[in-house]
Amino acid sequence: MFKTNKMLAAMLLIALSVVLAACGTADEKTSSSTGDNKYAKLLVGTEATFAPFESMNDKGEIVGIDVDIMKAIGEEVGSEVEFRNVGWEPVFQQITNGELNLGASGITITDERKQTYDFTDPYYEATLMIVVKEDSPITTLDELKDKKLSVQINTTGHEAAKKLQGMSSSNILAYENQPIAFQEVINGATAAAIGDNAVVLEYLKNNPKSGLKAIESDQFEKEYYGFMVKKGNTELLDHLNEGLKKIKENGKLEEITGQKID
- What is the per-residue pLDDT across 71-117, written as a single tens digit (0 to 9) for each? 999 999 999 999 999 999 999 999 999 999 999 999 999 999 999 99
Mean pLDDT of 197-219: 97
pTM: 0.85
Q: Is the peptide bond before 208 cis (omega within 30 degrees of 0)?
A: no
Q: Provide the pLDDT for residue 249.
A: 97
First to last CA, the chain: 72
What is the pLDDT confidence band of residue 26, given thresholds at 50, 70 and 90? confident
Residue limits of CATH 3.40.190.10 in the chain:
2-125+224-257, 128-221
Q: Provide the pLDDT for residue 25.
A: 65
Measured CA to CA, the distance from residue 200 to residue 115 in angstroms comes to 28
Measured CA to CA, the distance from residue 234 to residue 29 in angstroms comes to 18
Residue-wise pLDDT tens digits, 125-184: 999 999 999 999 999 999 999 999 999 999 999 999 999 999 999 999 999 999 999 999
The CATH number of the structural domain formed by 2-125+224-257 is 3.40.190.10
The CATH number of the structural domain formed by 128-221 is 3.40.190.10
CB 212 within 8 A of CB 182: yes
